[in-house]
Amino acid sequence: MNICCIGAGYVGGPTMAMIASRCPDIQVNVVDVNDERIAAWNSDELPIFEPGLDEIVQGARGKNLHFHTRVEDAIRDADIVFVCVGTPTKAAGIGAGRAADLRYIELAARTIAKVSEGPKIIVEKSTIPVRTAEALRTILSANSESGHFQVLSNPEFLAEGTAMADLDNPDRILIGGETTPEGQAAVETLVSVYNNWVPRENIITTNLWSSELSKLVANAFLAQRISSINSISALCEATGADVDEVANAIGTDSRIGPKFLKASVGFGGSCFQKDVLNLSYLCEHFGLPEVAAYWKQVIEMNDWQKSRFTKNIVSTLFNTVTGKRIALLGWAFKKDTNDTRESAAIYVCRDLLLEEATVAVYDPKVDPEQMKRDLLYAGLPENLLDNLEVCDSATAAANQAHGTAVLTEWDEFKTLDWNSIHESMFKPAFLFDGRNLLDHSALTTIGFNVYAIGKGDAES
């Protein structure tokens, strides 16, 4: 069997590396239009950081795993084509800011139709609006004389930071297909690929629309839990309750469960915001404005939590940060990834720079140029980049700072020498823990004034 994956990004690269590693008899070609990204996949410095990814890639690359830019050749030779291109939020036109931009999906479908010489299974791996398979089928059949295509939906549920473990031992694999005999045969072909390492009972098969919709709904439910606990964090601060104690108290209820109840400065990542906005947009499109408004509020709560955090820094620092140095620890949207898309750190940093602070940032994995690109993309005027300093350690960032804020839960922040950081900062030394990562009572003993998410003053 020969597999082609269009798109060598955060999903395509790791997913195909895992398939190649677990299915030595299958040839896997991962193709992309981005030469630089492909060159990085073929080097010792992979374009993305994921624990365990290097070993899996090194074990299969050059044997049955190939990264290259010959998109048309790879499609022509493949029995199964995974479409793994980006589906960002539309920036202009109808649905701008909410609907999914499907231009890369459409282009991939047109290329498949153009070069295919025989039957193929086309797999939607990208996250797409429900009923996209219908559009794909129409484009494929209208543009191909020889091809006979079966379109399947196989959304990816991996989480960045734990992608390799998630791919190796997924909670479930979801495959949606047409209910016709040809559709079901295609589903079984894809099932047989995953069944090389995933038990059959963990592979769920559904109709196409259920599978497409389930991915959006899964992300919406996950994002909703974070916004729910973050909304409660504000109430905790106002009332003297402690959000971690509340989360523990409710999370032990087996109907609620303990996961995804960690209050924070707000969720980031490329998926939650765009997928919830897309779900909300779809609801409106299908004439369900009340459902649309319900889900949109999940995003509004997240935006509010990010700006609430920044406003708290400004008001705590005596209502002005002009000319003051503020250290931000962490830029990635979560630990163990170098992905920064929609990271809360971008918005906190941008707003502090707009307040004319000097911001000193440290992140163990993020390229400084990426930070600058993120800020400009978030609307920061270019001249304010002069007030951004990217440091090579947390200690350097916090040196001579008026305030230090933790924005990503990197493990190394827990074991920093907080005594010497305290010594090097202006006094009073303010610490804002946007992840509730640190030992707050130990920091208070050192002399820090600590502000944590959702920690009200129980004595007041």
* Identified catalytic residue from 23, 236, 271, 391: 271
Among 160, 178, 237, 374, binds ligand NAD (CB under 6 A): 160
Which residue number has the CB closest to ligand NAD? 9
Q: Binding of ligand NAD at residue 136 (CB under 6 A)? A: no
What is the sign of the dihedral through the CA atoms of 20, 76, 40 and 51?
A: negative
Q: How far apart are the first and last CA of the chain?
A: 67
Of residues 212 and 244, the one with the C-beta less far from ligand NAD: 212
Size of the site for ligand NAD (CB under 6 A): 27
Q: Residue 419: in which H helix or E strand, if any?
A: helix 418-424
Q: Binding of ligand NAD at residue 211 (CB under 6 A)? A: no
Among 107, 115, 204, 378, binds ligand NAD (CB under 6 A): 107
For residue 287, the SS3 value is coil
Of residues 155 and 364, the one with the C-beta less far from ligand NAD: 155
Long-range contacts of 33-37 (CB under 8 A, 24+ apart): 33/69, 33/71, 34/8, 35/69, 37/8, 37/9
Q: Which amino acid is at 9?
A: G
Stretch of residues binding ligand NAD (CB under 6 A), selected from 56-64, 102-110, 289-297, 313-321: 102-110
Q: What single-letter DSSP state applies at residue 429?
A: P
Instruction: Evaluate whether 343 touches 331 at the Cβ level (below 8 Å).
Output: yes
Q: Binding of ligand NAD at residue 30 (CB under 6 A)? A: no
Stretch of residues binding ligand NAD (CB under 6 A), selected from 152-160, 198-206, 287-295, 429-437: 152-160
Q: Binding of ligand NAD at residue 32 (CB under 6 A)? A: yes
- Burial, 216: exposed, middle or buried (Cβ in 10 Å; 0-12, 13-18, 19+)? buried
Q: Binding of ligand NAD at residue 16 (CB under 6 A)? A: no
Q: Residue 332: CA atoms inside 13 Å, Cβ hemisphere, count?
A: 19
Q: Binding of ligand NAD at residue 49 (CB under 6 A)? A: no
Q: Binding of ligand NAD at residue 127 (CB under 6 A)? A: yes
Query: What span, in angstroms and rounded, lies between the C-alpha atoms of 30 and 28?
Result: 6
φ/ψ (deg, to 5) at 359:
-110, 125
Stretch of residues binding ligand NAD (CB under 6 A), selected from 33-41, 59-67, 346-354, 396-404: 33-41
Among 3, 4, 9, 344, binds ligand NAD (CB under 6 A): 9
Assess whether 236 carries a catalytic annotation: no
Where in 259-298 is the site for ligand NAD (CB under 6 A)? Answer: 270-271
Q: Residue 261: CA atoms inside 13 Å, Cβ hemisphere, count?
A: 17
Of residues 134 and 392, the one with the C-beta less far from ligand NAD: 134
Query: What span, in angstroms and rounded, lies between the C-alpha atoms of 100 and 95?
Result: 8
As annotated, the active-site residues are 271
Catalog residues that contact ligand NAD under the rule CB under 6 A: 6-12, 31-34, 37, 71, 84-87, 104, 107-108, 126-127, 156, 158, 160, 270-271
